[in-house]
Chain A
Amino acid sequence: MIELEGLTKRFGTKTAVDRLSFTVRPGMVTGFLGPNGAGKSTTMRMMLDLDAPTSGTVRIDGRHYRELDEPLKYIGALLDAKALHGGRTAYHNLLCLAQSNRIPERRVGEVLDLVGLSAVARKKSKNFSMGMGQRLGIAAALLGDPRILMFDEPVNGLDPEGIHWIRNLMKHLATEGRTIFVSSHLMSEMALTADHLVVIGQGKLLADMSMADFIQRNSRSYVRLRTPQRELTRDVLASAGLTAVDAGDGALEIDGESTERIGELLAEHRVVLHELSAQRASLEEAFMQMTAGAVEYHAHDGAGPQWGADVKGA
């Protein structure tokens, strides 16, 4: 269990993390979601006591990180895959970590086996591919067989097989009763792995709820239909107080009614249907909407500067 209370981090005048309070519970995967620059990594670094918070506290199973004697046995973290020394072999990178926490040396071989790196254990880690580096980082996190695991963007740079592997690993670790905290900027990824969701934008807490609740509250459901009799359909729907919106690809979208009701209504008027389906706006859209006001780096439409306007200002 990890408890954050009023966690704040300011860099000069910029507030990276703003009075963040939430709890990460055991036995489930908690997704930590936010656009790039939202303060996810800074928050995770403060959770591990790498950065000192400007104010607020983080408690790991009730204790401050620095009070843990063998932290690797409580909490394993994958911050970024490159946080190891490339000049050392995979084996020695893990061995020096194990020794500092009195973890038996045989455990090094076990975790290398677990992440599938046994064959390259004696190779220098700087020659590893991105996926292998990520696996080595995960091996380091699992070294102490900790009850809490933190992963910062674990699927970055992994191939589909690797992504599948890490998803299953996280789920499996959670079913063993461990606390799993995983950050991502991809809603779709979270939808597949997380049971609980914490969303932040510009350092502020935007949502802290179960995945099911998040889906319930944030996704628009609507009915999609295709018909050769578009005008007739619009009239029939309008008479029932419903508005059909053009979807752009020739289909119509109707909010606020079930497929059953619409199907029956149109059948009464003998309207021919080519498609009638219940749709759900993607979670990605819901997430984008939620964080729209809180995205730090907006890409601008249109290419290049506009001559004249910008030049005058400069």
Chain B
Amino acid sequence: MTTTPYTSPIPVRRAHLGDAIASEWTKMRSLRSTLWTLGVMVVLVLGLGVLLAYAIGEASASPDAYEGGSVLTLGLLGMLLATVCVITLGVLTITSEFGTGMIRTTLTACPSRGRVLTAKAIVFFALVFVTTTLVSAFTAAAQCAVLGTTGGASAGQWIRVTVGVGLFMAFLGLLSLAVGALLRHSAGSITTMIGLVLLPYVLAIGLYTRELNDLRTALVEYSIPALLGTLYTGGPVGGMPMPSGWQPLWIIMGVTAVALAGAYTALDRRDA
């Protein structure tokens, strides 16, 4: 029996956030569910976008119908459905660790909760942003090609439906990740997020009296689908003083920041 403590031949090099990011990237790419959810998203956005362009191109012969950049709004439908994929991936990124018990191994390897959550957030955000921006741009280009016109879309509009939508979807996913970190349960978190998307519409149906008109409109205009739609259309339909231009992005960023702050606190305080 010796009393000299064991010393390992493996060199000790200080680990930092970069190492945590490398680790999270390995986790992300080594799960088949990542490929599936993102694959389904790409197929939905691109497939629906191109189909819609064909259908509309067949129906109306005159290219004047797409004036004012409205060609680009054809991507909205697919992107609305894609929110489900992004929400699922965002939630699973963290809840799958709680579900399998992997979180205990992860936190034993990296006891700084902040570093783990930051690394996860960065890897997830980057992946979703790049994927959505690319698929969005590709879909818009395909639609313009099918219809034979860009409908005079401005550079601003192009940036909003590519980078803007990419950022919006990435923040929506990040919000889901934060909710997953707070609830720690896959089904519960996904349901919560889908509820958040649909609830304003359900409430609006219920609040049908004339006195509640303003509240009803606000609920709908500030709902996630409407905010996403605003990025495509540039402003609310009917010209109301509701979010327009890039405002939807600032709104979702704010909400995500609050949820993420909650997730940091919860992860730090609660037992794993």
Contacts and interface: CB of A to CB of B under 8 A. Distances in A.
A97 B27 CA distance: 9
Nearest to B2: A177
B241 interface: no
Nearest to A28: B1
Interface string B121-151: 0000000000000000000000000000000
A144 B8 contact: yes
A137 to B, nearest CB: 9
Nearest to B31: A87
Given A26-B6, A107-B10, A144-B8, A48 B108 contact: yes
Interface in A78-99: 79-80, 82-89, 92, 95-97, 99
Nearest to A67: B111
A49 B104 CA distance: 10
Nearest to A25: B3
B101 to A, nearest CB: 4
A210 to B, nearest CB: 12
Interface string A133-164: 00000001000111100000000000000000
A73 B10 contact: yes
Contact of B23 (A45, A79, A99, A146): A99
Interface string B13-43: 1110001101110110011110000000000
Given A145-B9, A175-B2, A177-B6, A85 B97 contact: yes
Contacts, number: 140
A103 interface: yes
A176 interface: yes
- Chain A contact residues: helix, strand, loop or mixed: loop
Interface residues of B, number: 42
A93 to B, nearest CB: 8
Nearest to B22: A99
Contacts of B8: 73, 144-147
Given A27-B3, A145-B10, A100 B271 contact: no
B36 to A, nearest CB: 11
Given A27-B3, A88-B27, A102-B19, A70 B12 contact: yes
Contacts of A97: 23, 105-106, 109
Contacts of A247: none
Nearest to A143: B109
Which of A102, A104, A177 gathers most chain B CB within 10 Å?
A102
Nearest to A97: B109
A71 B14 CA distance: 10
Contacts of B30: 88-89, 92, 95-96
A68 interface: yes
A286 to B, nearest CB: 24
B220 interface: no
A68 B107 CA distance: 12
A66 interface: yes
A83 B8 CA distance: 25
Contacts of B209: none
A128 interface: no
B62 interface: no
Contacts of B247: none
A99 B19 CA distance: 6
25 contacts: A1-B5, A26-B3, A26-B6, A49-B107, A50-B271, A71-B111, A72-B108, A77-B108, A80-B101, A82-B101, A83-B100, A85-B27, A85-B97, A87-B31, A96-B23, A96-B27, A100-B110, A101-B109, A102-B13, A102-B19, A144-B10, A145-B10, A147-B7, A176-B2, A177-B5
Interface of B: 1-10, 12-15, 19-20, 22-24, 26-27, 30-33, 96-97, 100-102, 104-112, 269, 271-272
Given A50-B104, A72-B109, A97-B105, 16 more contacts: A26-B5, A27-B5, A50-B272, A69-B14, A73-B10, A85-B102, A96-B26, A96-B27, A99-B26, A100-B22, A100-B106, A104-B10, A144-B8, A147-B8, A176-B2, A195-B1
Interface of A: 1, 26-28, 45, 48-52, 65-66, 68-73, 75, 77, 79-80, 82-89, 92, 95-97, 99-104, 107, 140, 144-147, 174-179, 195
